[in-house]
A and B are shown apart, each in its own frame.
Chain A
């Protein structure tokens, strides 16, 4: 009897992991192997600068080469999505609804930390089922510009600068050596654009155009840097 039960459980777990593997590999991600693209956010005095590439892949095919991974959650709060497209879109929609409801209850603009907590709550609770790496960034009157990172697994931490996605591995060195506290808005934009360009050059799952946005007290300014306008670095 004991033996039978054990065997059943083992087989069940094998099937489950096989089913999950099939599911993950067939899943259309913002990447092929894990998670995709490159996203970045930087705090500066008075707001945040966020940026992302624009590639969504299904295996080796680029399903959307002009994706907008910078999703507005509220008027002055954005999230940068990396990982599975379906999961992150569903999470972002759910959090947008919850935050909108909360904001109406409070009758004032919600805090960026609240938005980040909502993301963390969802990403941690369903961590087994989800594949989502999210950076929440925005401006609120209480604490100014803030960047919170919620990677896969569901931890949440505030950082002055944060990178995510598969392309981020290639630019940790660049970001760590070039970031200085107290940069101006223009310096942050240049820093973000250059970091994303370097990641897009080296990572197959990242590419397309660079989408940037500045979120501050004045509102949101969005810009797109097309492929031929990207900053140039010396090539071998």
Chain B
């Protein structure tokens, strides 16, 4: 009875509200029956970035959660956008993955068309315009960082399409813990080792103080002409080793009787089918 496809012209482009109303109705129906619809896998994350003297350091934890269960203990949240630009993603895992892939593909075509290395501000504009077009329904909160002809740049991009250009940013459920570390120890024009230590500590704060973040710390150091993708940079939560073993030694159980019955099988039919590998 209700329209499945409602085409609204907004911003000169049609956003087809195909599923929005229908999903809301279905959700209401399911809730009436006493069930809950499956939760989208979120990354419940801590991601952050910092601009230092020669470039940008991006950091992320590696836990992906599905409700209260850890779905992936070692997922990669720092996505490739272009050789000089990387993007950390928080929010719905599928959304961050697909959004960054789409923009990476478009940016490569753009770069081939202009004949130049892409700029971080271009990636930022593409991402914010796409997220704004979907009015926040794409749950991707991103930390975009890179080095281009104008120097190092760092942006935070929110699901509704607003962006901030700052020297240090944090996003995700652990962002408050990470921001506390940054606000205490950030200085402009840090050296690389200091910047890496700062980002590592900020992510660690998120990992140990936020339930949605955990496992290891990944780092990505981007400088002019070089990218260090350190995965993992720090295994903050190594699985422990058991001190004792419950294995029983051979001969613990005594054998009273032993009876062996051989199974006589004869081959009835044998046929060989070659696979067509042409």
Contacts and interface: CB of A to CB of B under 8 A. Distances in A.
A104 interface: no
What band does the interface of chain A fall in when counting residues whose beta carbon is under 8 Å from B?
20 to 34
Contact of A8 (B1, B24, B136): B1
A4 interface: yes
A85 B112 CA distance: 32
Contacts of A15: 21, 24-25, 28
A27 B159 CA distance: 8
A89 B25 contact: no
Given A4-B1, A86-B132, A126-B11, A19 B162 contact: no
A90 B132 contact: yes
Interface string B211-252: 000000000000000000000000000000000000000000
Contacts of A23: 135-136
Contacts of A230: none
Contacts of B162: 28, 56, 84-86, 89
B10 A126 contact: yes
Given A8-B2, A23-B135, A89 B161 contact: yes
B160 interface: yes
B164 A63 contact: yes
Contacts of B163: 89
B19 to A, nearest CB: 11
A23 B1 CA distance: 25
Contact of B158 (A12, A18, A28, A66): A28
B10 A129 contact: yes
Given A12-B2, A16-B21, A23-B136, A90 B164 contact: no
A67 interface: yes
Contacts of B41: none
A224 interface: no
Interface in B89-129: 125, 128-129
Nearest to A30: B162
Interface residues of B, number: 26
Contacts of B25: 11, 15
B176 interface: yes
Given A15-B21, A15-B25, A129-B10, A27 B160 contact: yes
A64 interface: yes
Nearest to A11: B25
Contacts of B2: 8, 11-12
Interface string A1-35: 00011001001100110110001001110000000
A56 B21 contact: no
A5 B2 CA distance: 9
Interface string B127-160: 0110110011000000000000000000010111
Contact of A19 (B11, B24, B156, B160): B24
Interface in B147-197: 156, 158-164, 166, 176
Given A8-B2, A26-B136, A126-B11, A84 B160 contact: yes
Q: Which of B10, B25, B162 has the most chain A CB atoms closer than 10 A to its own CB?
A: B162
Given A11-B25, A56-B162, A86-B160, 9 more contacts: A4-B1, A8-B2, A19-B24, A23-B135, A86-B136, A89-B163, A90-B11, A90-B128, A126-B10
Pick the 5 closest A-B CB pairs, nearest first: A85-B162, A86-B160, A86-B162, A15-B24, A86-B161
27 contacts: A4-B1, A8-B2, A11-B2, A11-B25, A12-B2, A15-B21, A19-B21, A19-B24, A23-B135, A23-B136, A27-B136, A28-B160, A28-B162, A56-B164, A63-B156, A67-B164, A84-B162, A85-B160, A86-B131, A86-B132, A86-B160, A86-B161, A86-B162, A89-B161, A90-B11, A90-B128, A90-B129
